[in-house]
Structure 1
Amino acid sequence: MIQEQAFVKQLKEGNIHAFNHLFDSYSSRLYGFGIKYLKSETDAEELVQDVFLKIWRNREKLKEEENFHSYLFTVAFNQIRDYFRYKVVFLDVDEHLELMPSDNSTETTITYRSVLEQIKALLEKLPDKKQKIFYLSRFEGKSAKEIAVIVGVSPKTVDNQISEVIGFLRERLKESGPLLWLFYWLFIQ
């Protein structure tokens, strides 16, 4: 761990040897992680490249005291989530165009609002503090540490509360239609 922190510190300073060391240490594990979710060798290779490119570009923001492994796999997970969002929104559009009316902007807006209202109605059944934690996390994109400061609890409590809300929503949306389930998977989970 201490040696890893030293490499992260050197990477922050632009040391390409430190970058190469971290790449060599983590690329195969990251590739395996990508294969598990993406089911494609090419996409997994691109994931590794994209993640390390992002690490290089944002190297000055790295915090050597934080766990690099966790940071790296969080970036990878977010890249995978973005990939699936992109795929659903842009790559699969042609398949669904035949099923949609030619002018669907109003219909799409109404459907989206309806789904969002159903999610919000479920969230309103939760205690106020739990609602606030979840909204700050999923709708405002705040980290567990930021939320902990705002709400006055520990980051671990924030993580636990978010997990409980996700479980609550998953349970309530199990029998819902595919649109609600897709919204949950893309934006809530």
Structure 2
Amino acid sequence: MDINKIWDDFHQELKAFILNKTRNSADTDDILQEVFIKIMQNMNKVKHAKSLRHYLFGIVRNAITDYFRNKQYDQHNLEIPEKLTEEESESLNETIAECCIKPFINQLPENYKKALLSTEFENISQKDMANKLNISYSAAKSRVQRGKEKLKGLILQCCSLESDKYGNLSAKSKKNCNCA
């Protein structure tokens, strides 16, 4: 038996087994590569194994154990990144707002657009906005709330948010709106 035959006969089954344990396709490919390196290095033992399948799965189980052991070691030895300063955080938030949120706000009807720009970008309170527009405080609050709902609708209309079976979110653009 040669390595090509082993690959053809077993790589899909081994890959599925590894993926079931790691839940990460990139790590699965890395482990599978390590497994086949070990198989090539130990081809003499592989050829004399009583049950090739059991021998291969033994190599895979050991490789998976090493993977989790190393991953746990890596997680304990990660340097904790420094927190952003307040100034850096504000700058980042402003950049995100300018690039990602304002284009959507600008698509809103004028009254909602003004309400959101005033309260969210110009730091004008809803009470001050109500006085400035000569409307009740309750009406100002409602306008801001409706504006936020309409903004949410525009974003969701553009970007389809999906989650995998583990709850990880991924954004996929529905149309060419530069939101993903």
Q: TM-score range by the shorter chain?
A: 0.3 to 0.5
Please report the TM-score for the alignment, with normalisation by the length of structure 2: 0.41
Higher normalized strand content (fraction of residues)? 2
TM-score (norm 1): 0.39
Whichever structure has more helix as a proportion of its residues is 1
Which one scores higher on RCO, CA 8 angstroms, separation ≥ 6? 1
Q: Which has the larger radius of gyration?
A: 2
